[in-house]
């Protein structure tokens, strides 16, 4: 998972989020700094009984929060989402001495971004791409 700091930098550079099932996010307020949430659809499970099939709607909440605006959240994209966002600029992911290295191509020149985790390296590469597009 990418760091909160990198997620903020990506958002500030123009990365927009359309929430989908499986996406992770934080509520962008200090009192929620340690909390990571996951968007999930209601699970519907078929239960077979001698009298027929019942559809069970499963879901629990640990505490109540009616809703939160997307603008008050911070998307924490997964590794596969970050790679997809790099599109055709992505070249390679490789092991590096300190973790992982992602190489992308910008304007015909390859650029490498290293970090302790693959998602963070992808995020740094995407940040460079977003900043290049904005310039």
Reported as a single tens digit per residue, the pLDDT across 6-54 is: 999 999 999 998 888 788 989 888 887 788 887 876 644 445 578 754 4
- Cut 0.85: pTM above it: no
Comparison of pLDDT for 55 and 98, the residue scoring more: 98
The number of distinct structural domains making up the chain is 1
Residue 74 sits at φ, ψ, to 5 deg, of -130, 110
DSSP element (H, E) containing 93: strand 90-96
Q: Note down the domain range covering 14.
A: 4-134
**Look-up of token digits 């699970």:** 43
Reported as a single tens digit per residue, the pLDDT across 65-95 is: 556 778 888 999 999 999 999 999 999 999 9
According to DSSP, residue 28 is labeled: S
Comparison of pLDDT for 62 and 102, the residue scoring more: 102
């Amino acid at each position: 998972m990418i760091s909160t700091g990198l997620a903020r930098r990506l958002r500030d550079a123009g990365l927009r989020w359309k929430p989908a099932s499986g996406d992770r996010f934080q509520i962008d307020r200090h009192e929620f700094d340690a909390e990571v949430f996951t968007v999930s659809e209601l699970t519907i499970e078929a239960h077979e009984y001698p009298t027929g099939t019942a559809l069970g709607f499963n879901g629990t909440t640990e505490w109540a929060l009616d809703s939160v605006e997307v603008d008050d959240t911070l998307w924490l994209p997964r590794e596969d989402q970050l790679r997809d966002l790099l599109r055709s600029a992505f070249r390679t992911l490789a092991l590096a001495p300190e973790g992982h290295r992602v190489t992308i191509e910008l304007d015909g020149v390859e650029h490498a971004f290293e970090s302790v985790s693959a998602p963070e390296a992808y995020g740094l590469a995407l940040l460079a791409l977003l900043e290049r597009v904005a310039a």
